[in-house]
């Protein structure tokens, strides 16, 4: 994870550019953020800059590990930079065992991991079935899940809202979750995230 002086410099530069485009950024629930120890950060996906807005909202003092589509890491220069700050790729069209292993290792090393369970940006009127990989990793490592909501309707110079929910830990009747239980838990997580947005 990137932290220290490098993080502060990068944060200041990116913040200037992002807040010029969206000068009003409302954040609520920051008191729920666990700054140390493993944490699975799960957010809805509404725009390309979502990881940056989540990082601003959490204000951890370092860049969490981020699971992103592998195509981004193949872009010249951008891919190199993303790898440098700890982003790792996932193949959204297949069961990417290597990405899961990397995610599990991050959590077992007490890192924070940012994942967008929907896997792609959700457009108005489009239903997306979120993938259960994030909660599977959280369940295997007994990692708290932090739900995060980002407003979806955006236009230049318009406000953006981020709501950070209370962290919770998954518990299953027989200890080890079945695929069906993970699918249900994932659906409930996304419902919880969008319900936070409905309250604004």
Domain with residue 88: its CATH number is 3.40.1130.10
Contact 131, 119 (CB under 8 A): yes
Q: Give the domain range for residue 71.
A: 4-198
Whether residue 122 has pLDDT greater than 80: no
What percent of the chain lies above the pLDDT cut of 90? Answer: 45
Rounded-to-integer distance, Cα 59 and Cα 55, Å: 6
Q: Domains in the chain: how many in total? A: 1
Encode pLDDT of 9-48 as tens digits: 777 777 777 888 888 889 999 999 988 899 999 999 988 8
> What are the C-alpha distances in Å from 138 to residues 32, 99, 109?
17, 14, 13
| Tokens 């790792």 -> residue | 88
Entry field: residues in the chain: 200
pTM of the predicted protein model: 0.88
């Amino acid at each position: 994870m990137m932290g220290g002086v490098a993080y502060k410099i990068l944060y200041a530069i990116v913040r200037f550019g992002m807040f010029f485009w969206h000068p009003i950024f409302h954040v609520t629930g920051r008191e729920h953020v666990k700054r140390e120890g493993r944490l699975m950060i799960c957010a809805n996906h509404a725009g390309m800059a979502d990881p940056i807005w989540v990082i601003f909202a959490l204000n951890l003092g370092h860049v969490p590990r981020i699971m992103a589509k592998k195509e981004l890491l193949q872009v010249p220069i951008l891919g190199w930079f993303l790898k440098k700050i700890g982003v790792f790729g996932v193949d959204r069209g297949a069961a990417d065992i290597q990405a899961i292993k990397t995610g599990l290792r991050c959590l077992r090393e007490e890192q924070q991991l940012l994942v967008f369970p929907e896997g792609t940006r959700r457009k108005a009127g489009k239903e997306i079935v979120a993938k259960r990989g994030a909660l599977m990793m959280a369940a295997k490592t007994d990692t708290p899940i932090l739900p995060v909501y980002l407003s979806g309707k955006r236009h230049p110079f318009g406000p953006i809202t981020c709501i950070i929910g209370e962290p919770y830990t998954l518990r299953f009747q027989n200890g080890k979750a079945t695929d069906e239980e993970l699918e249900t838990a994932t659906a409930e997580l996304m419902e919880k995230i969008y319900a936070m947005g409905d309250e604004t």
